[in-house]
Amino acid sequence: MERRVNILFKDIGISNISGLTLMLAGGIKNKIMKYYKGINDAEYGFQAQVDFGDEKLLKKDIYKEVEFSFIDSINYVKTKVKTDVLDIGSLSFHGLLVSEKFYSICERFDSHQVQFVDIIGDENLKGYKFMFFNGDLTTKIDYRKTNFILCENMLDEFEVLNENLEPSRKNMINIDKEICSVDIFKQLIPKNGFSFIEGFDINKYNIFRIGHFDEHFYFSEKVVKALKAENITGITFVESVNFSPFTHC
């Protein structure tokens, strides 16, 4: 039966948009580290662009490290405001175009398969790097303990379409590919947060991507505080909260 549910938001001073809370190995909620989705500020529009001829970059496999040591095909759009994180359109799917200051802060924290590559050629981008998120943590999820549901998200009001999904990585990836990727309002949600396989502790990473059905870029509270303390611009951080506090209508 389809049901309409509303997410209860937690106002934390940065944003009160819903997300997810990541659970410790085995699904036991001990001390949970707060994580935030890092999202380009839409107000600036596309601030950089890639030469169409750079196929090795445009056609990069999202989960493989690049083998080149620099990128010379990214150019700054001079009519745009320059921020620490620049919106680069479709390439933003792979990661973030970041300033030297942003990079130096992130380098102080443990990350999962994050790769920084120098940008050269355009003097306006001197010191900038592309921050690739190459990781796939979907192999670390315990699908028996993580309760995935398929929802339709309309203005942060969620309609449950299917809550009896086969609990497997293959099925979740197929649903994301066949349903969610063709309809931006359809989402796979871990209703009670992610549970990870025994022996894997997500809290040891401060920067990462889950992958496939969750392609956001995640930053721990410690990283967000460090970035905000240095007045980093061009990025918005949205807390990922647990989906368990549903209010059923």
Tens digit of pLDDT for each residue in 70-87? 999 999 999 999 999 999
pLDDT value at residue 172:
97
Q: Is the dihedral of CA 147, 152, 154, 157 positive or negative?
A: negative
pLDDT value at residue 153:
87
pLDDT of residue 40 exceeding 80, the answer is yes
For 38-60, what is the mean pLDDT? 92
Q: Where are the beta strands (DSSP E) in 41-128?
A: 48-50, 70-71, 74-76, 85-86, 95-98, 114-119
pLDDT of residue 156 exceeding 60, the answer is yes
User: Strands 218-220 and 70-71: what pairing?
Assistant: unpaired
